[in-house]
């Protein structure tokens, strides 16, 4: 019986507790509703106070409610448009508000090639008394119908010695050099260099150890440079003061009198075969850290003319905030985001050349001597010429434009998987079954497991990240455009070259002047389309236009929903306690109860 009474008392207590909680919730809801009504009556938002005005008719209040709702929809629509625009194209390219000085960029690297692929005197010597390898190499350079192949796997040293012997060196081609008003020894400022046009001369290129990761393993010529060399790239720029005799040189100023002037000798009589259908020179301007593609992009210089090359720099930079935007959206790489296999610094040109090298090796099992490669890799001979041309065309039309060779649609994941497949095939002569490949390609077994793991690690760290052909522009870049003007050499030029006849000068000599057109230039700046400030101002402007909303309006709403509700509940609680106290302390109504 006692247990039953105890249970009844527990039930009664629970019911009282539930009723108490319901009363508290009811009081809270009532307080919130009350404060919302007061907020609607006193708010500074346009139109909303008419909704909560009890003195207006129901029709008027409905009208203002609909108007306020339409204003919210209108503001939301345009805010969503701003977000969609930022999501689809979060990057904007603008001009820097300040002009930049020429001293902030290097003078361009200049490469000059004589279109003569083989000196006549040296070619005749080879045909008479040269070795069989030299004769085959001469045919490879000049005779398009030769059947020569590189089955003998001629060493790089033999090829290098041949190209140096038959090509026009800097000493053969350069007669005079002037930097500003200072006469220079051409051999001190120009270096012999190998390009896709054979032996050429380069000015202001960085030393190989500043361009390539492992310069000792790259097929290059021995070159000399000043002791002061900047480790320059477009992203870091120049960090030290100009010390004069340094590489890369900086512009002295604008105008032909502050540029580089050279006098060239084509030596037409010593032509054996030309790289084109004409005689003269090919010239290209490039970034000091890039390898020039002379055959495709070099412009022609004719003997017997004075040619002025006016240089117009194009410099693009990026803000640090751009790093937070995905690469697919900003469409550019920072230098540490895309390590290359051969080059130390990333640029789109270096990436494409490296891609062409890897792609040609994959397709033809060889690499042309003018592309970056290890010395151990076989170079391509004449029989591989069609394969090399086909690989180059494929790389520059499909693979080089970000179109993958196996997957139909580009994505970073597909690109990396295809890259890993190609890189593993190159390193291990097989591809794991889980990577994309043709059915004809051998798949890797357990014996190749260590090779596959090593290839994957290389691909994900340095070597592979740059071997894919999806070569986006660099976020920091320095390019040089040129405008050419020329006129026939005057007879008075012979006074500067007294040991040469006027006829020889007109037929063989060329005067080139490289200079900047203006002393300052405007940079392009790649940045976020909307930063926090822009997003805040755009959204705030729309809310203010449509609703009269401001930051204080937001504080006002928070105030009514939190502080006012809390204060109202506290006031009610205090009022109830006071009433209970007064009730207990009041005097009895009848005197006999006192």
Domain boundaries, the chain: 2-86+534-593, 97-402+469-526
pLDDT at res. 416: 66
Q: Which helix (H) or strand (E) holds 478?
A: strand 477-488
Structure tokens at 204: 């202001």
Task: Give the span between the Cα atoms of 548 and 95, in whole angstroms.
Answer: 35
pLDDT at res. 582: 63
Give which of 589, 575, 559 is closest to 27, Cα–Cα: 575
Rg, Å, the chain Cα set: 39
Task: Give the span between the Cα atoms of 395 and 383, in whole angstroms.
Answer: 20
pLDDT at res. 462: 44
Whether the ω angle into residue 248 lies within 30 degrees of 0, i.e. cis, is yes
Task: Give the span between the Cα atoms of 571 and 166, in whole angstroms.
Answer: 102
Model confidence pLDDT, tens digit, residues 38-93: 777 777 777 777 777 778 888 888 898 898 889 889 989 998 888 888 777 788 89
Domain 97-402+469-526 superfamily per CATH: Acid-sensing ion channels like domains (2.60.470.10)
Cα four-point dihedral sign 362, 367, 370, 376: positive
Q: Residue 103 in contact with residue 516, Cβ under 8 Å?
A: no
The pairing of strands 271-274 and 91-101 is: unpaired
133 contacts: CB under 8 Å, gap ≥ 6: 152, 154, 158, 162
Model confidence pLDDT, tens digit, residues 506-522: 899 999 999 999 999 99
pLDDT at res. 495: 65
Burial class (CB within 10 angstroms; exposed 0-12, middle 13-18, buried 19+) of 173: buried
Q: Residue 482 in contact with residue 275, Cβ under 8 Å?
A: no
SS3 of the chain: helix, strand, coil, percent, to 5: 50, 20, 30
3-state secondary structure of 103: helix
Model confidence pLDDT, tens digit, residues 298-331: 999 999 999 999 999 999 999 988 998 888 888 8
Structure tokens at 419: 């890259």
pLDDT at res. 6: 47
Q: Which residues of the chain have pLDDT under 50?
A: 6, 13, 146-147, 399-400, 462-468
What crossing angle do the helices spanning 348-364 and 385-397 adopt, rounded to 10°? 130
Q: Residue 343 in contact with residue 354, Cβ under 8 Å?
A: yes
Q: Residue 292 in contact with residue 286, Cβ under 8 Å?
A: yes
pLDDT at res. 568: 66
3-state secondary structure of 316: strand
Give which of 190, 197, 194 is closest to 170, Cα–Cα: 190
Cα four-point dihedral sign 99, 103, 104, 110: positive
Q: Residue 306 in contact with residue 256, Cβ under 8 Å?
A: no
Q: What's this model's pTM, rounded to 2 decimal places?
A: 0.73
Q: What is the DSSP string of 126-193?
A: HHHH--HHHHHHHHHHH-TT-----TT---HHHHHHHHHHHS--HHHHEEEEEETTEEE-HHHHEEEE
Task: Give the span between the Cα atoms of 459 and 359, in whole angstroms.
Answer: 15
Question: Can you tell me which residue has the tokens 């503001």?
Answer: 75
pLDDT at res. 40: 74
pLDDT at res. 466: 40
Task: Give the span between the Cα atoms of 386 and 395, in whole angstroms.
Answer: 14
């Amino acid at each position: 019986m006692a247990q039953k009474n105890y249970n009844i008392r527990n039930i009664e207590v629970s019911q009282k507790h539930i009723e108490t909680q319901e009363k508290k919730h009811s009081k809270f809801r009532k307080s919130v509703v009350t404060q919302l009504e007061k907020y609607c009556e006193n708010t500074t938002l346009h139109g909303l106070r008419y909704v909560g005005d009890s003195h207006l008719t129901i029709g008027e209040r409905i009208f203002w409610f609909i108007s306020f709702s339409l204003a919210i929809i209108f503001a939301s629509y345009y805010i969503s448009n701003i977000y969609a625009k930022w999501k689809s194209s979060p990057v904007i390219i603008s001009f820097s508000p300040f002009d930049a000085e020429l001293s902030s960029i290097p003078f361009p690297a200049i490469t000059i090639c004589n279109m003569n692929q083989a000196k006549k005197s040296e070619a005749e010597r080879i045909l008479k008394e040269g070795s069989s390898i030299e004769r085959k190499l001469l045919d490879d350079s000049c005779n398009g119908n030769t059947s020569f192949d590189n089955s003998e796997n001629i060493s790089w040293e033999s090829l290098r010695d041949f190209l140096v012997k038959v090509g026009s060196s800097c000493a053969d081609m350069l007669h005079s050099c002037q930097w500003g008003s200072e006469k220079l020894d051409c051999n001190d400022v120009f270096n012999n260099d190998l390009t896709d046009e054979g032996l050429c001369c380069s000015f202001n290129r960085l030393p190989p150890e500043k361009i390539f990761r492992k310069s000792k393993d790259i097929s290059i010529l021995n070159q000399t440079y000043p002791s002061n060399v900047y480790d320059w790239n477009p992203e870091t720029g120049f960090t030290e003061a100009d010390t004069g005799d340094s590489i890369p040189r900086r512009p002295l100023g604008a105008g032909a009198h502050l540029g580089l002037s050279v006098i060239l000798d084509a030596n037409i009589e010593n032509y054996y075969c030309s790289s084109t259908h004409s005689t003269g020179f090919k010239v290209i301007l490039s970034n000091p850290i890039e390898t020039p593609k002379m055959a495709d992009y070099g412009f022609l210089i004719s003997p017997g003319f004075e040619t002025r090359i006016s240089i117009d720099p194009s410099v693009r930079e990026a803000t640090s905030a751009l790093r937070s935007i995905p690469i697919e959206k900003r469409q550019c790489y920072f230098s540490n985001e895309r390590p290359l296999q051969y080059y130390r610094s990333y640029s789109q040109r270096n990436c494409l050349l490296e891609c062409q090298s890897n792609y040609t090796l994959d397709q033809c099992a060889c690499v042309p001597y003018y592309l970056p490669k290890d010395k151990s890799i076989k170079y391509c001979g004449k029989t591989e010429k069609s394969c090399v041309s086909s690989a180059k065309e494929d790389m520059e039309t499909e693979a080089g434009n970000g179109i993958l060779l196996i997957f139909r649609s580009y994505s970073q994941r597909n690109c990396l998987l295809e890259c890993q497949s190609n890189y593993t095939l190159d390193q291990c002569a097989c591809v794991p079954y889980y990577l994309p490949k043709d059915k004809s390609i051998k798949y890797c077994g357990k014996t190749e497991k260590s090779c596959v793991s090593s290839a994957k690690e290389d691909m994900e760290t340095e070597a592979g990240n740059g071997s894919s052909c999806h070569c986006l522009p660099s976020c920091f870049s320095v390019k040089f455009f040129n405008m050419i003007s020329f006129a026939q050499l005057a007879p008075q030029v012979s006074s500067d070259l007294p040991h040469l006849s006027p006829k020889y000068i007109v037929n063989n000599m060329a005067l080139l002047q490289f200079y900047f057109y203006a002393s300052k230039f405007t940079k392009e700046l790649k940045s976020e389309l909307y930063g926090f400030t822009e997003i805040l101002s755009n959204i705030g402007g729309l809310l203010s236009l449509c609703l009269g909303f401001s930051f204080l309006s937001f504080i006002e709403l928070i105030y009514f929903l939190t502080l006012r509700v809390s204060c109202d509940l506290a006031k009610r609680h205090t009022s109830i306690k006071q009433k209970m106290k007064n009730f207990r302390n009041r005097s009895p109504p009848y005197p006999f109860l006192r």
